[in-house]
Amino acid sequence: MSLKSEYSAKIKSAAHALGFLSCGIAKADFLEEEAPRLEQWLRQSHHGSMGYMERHFDKRLDPRRLVPGAKSVVSLLLNYHTDKTQVDPKAPKISTYAYGTDYHFVLKEKLKKLMQLIHTEIGEVNGRVFVDSAPVMDKAWAAKSGLGWIGKNTNLISKKMGSFFFIAELIIDLELDYDSPTTDHCGSCTACIDACPTEALHQPYQIDGSKCISYLTIELKDNSPTEFKGKMDNWAFGCDVCQTVCPWNRFASPHNEPAFEAHEDLLGLTNREWQEMTSEVFTTLFKNSAVKRTQFEGLKRNIKFLSS
């Protein structure tokens, strides 16, 4: 076994031991195919008010600009799927990824441990860890490393596990064995396109982010445009529709990460309790949650929009 193969095996074994669903490795290089797609997406203003998507264009397409001397992008998936649901069917809904502790905290901790293991098992390796807080095209890199394909709903999909997982990366200056991309298995299915409440998936493999419910309830700081009244499917934070209807998610299994368990009072909230939520209750329920991103005022604004 070559050193590259040995190191790759050690990294994947360590990732598995830390609870990651899977780990794939791609060569750190310029994303040629993605460059024109990203340029067109921005030109069509499909990023809405997310001005940060226009910044660091070169870094977004070339990891060597983020980590000098980078040789490999190690992509990792962490399951967050759950069978648990909110009890009151009339209550405003939040995406299942936000039920528990903010994934940024959980993933960062695991990635730091993985880097420590790399230093212990392999030696001095320079690099950085990323959890969607830097200009890294995580789905593109995960697809390049064979962890799945980017589906018609623009999410990364795995034949074995569906799509209810977080994606994170290590970009390191160590040369490794590189995995091969998988093939597309969406076929003629259009379930996600047909089900999207706001028609954000206007055509296969493209999303108008400015119409996506996740954007409208999280990224957008103003009131949602009136054109979306009655189309939000009762989502107050995020949206799971295009994943829930995806046939590949019949293979998704519940996560076993304690940090992703919902706060004991969250799922039982009634519609009335959501409507009358105070800032104190918000702080208690969402202390370490991704929902804090929209803040109390933002969540109340979203809930009010749903009922107006």
Pick the catalytic residue from 62, 132, 173, 177.
Answer: 132
CB 268 within 8 A of CB 276: no
Residues 220-242 have pLDDT tens digits of: 998 899 999 999 999 999 999 99
Q: What percent of the chain has pLDDT over 90?
A: 86
CA distance between the termini of the chain: 64
CB-count exposure of residue 89 (10 Å: 0-12, 13-18, 19+): exposed
Is 269 exposed, middle or buried, given 0-12, 13-18 or 19+ CB atoms closer than 10 A? buried
Euclidean distance between CA atoms 201 and 194, whole angstroms: 8
pLDDT score of 213: 98
Q: What is the pLDDT of residues 44-99, one digit of tens each?
A: 877 777 776 667 678 889 999 999 999 999 999 999 999 999 999 999 999 999 99
Name the residue among 49, 25, 294, 13 with its Cα closest to residue 172. Answer: 25
- Taking residues 88-113, what's their average pLDDT? 97
User: Can you tell me the distance from the alpha carbon of 28 to that of 121, in angstroms, rounded to the nearest whole number?
Assistant: 22
Is residue 58 annotated as a catalytic residue, yes or no? no
DSSP secondary-structure letter at 232? Answer: S
The pLDDT of residue 46 = 73
Average pLDDT over residues 182-203: 97
**32-36, 109-113, 209-213: least confidently modelled range:** 32-36
**Which carries the bigger pLDDT value, residue 38 or residue 152?**
152
For residues 72 and 28, the answer to whether their CB atoms sit within 8 Å is: yes
Q: What is the pLDDT of residue 60?
A: 87
φ/ψ bin of 303: left (φ > 0), alpha (ψ from -120 to 50), beta (otherwise): alpha
255-299: pLDDT as tens digits: 999 999 998 899 999 999 999 999 999 999 999 999 999 999 999
Q: Which helix (H) or strand (E) holds 166?
A: strand 165-172
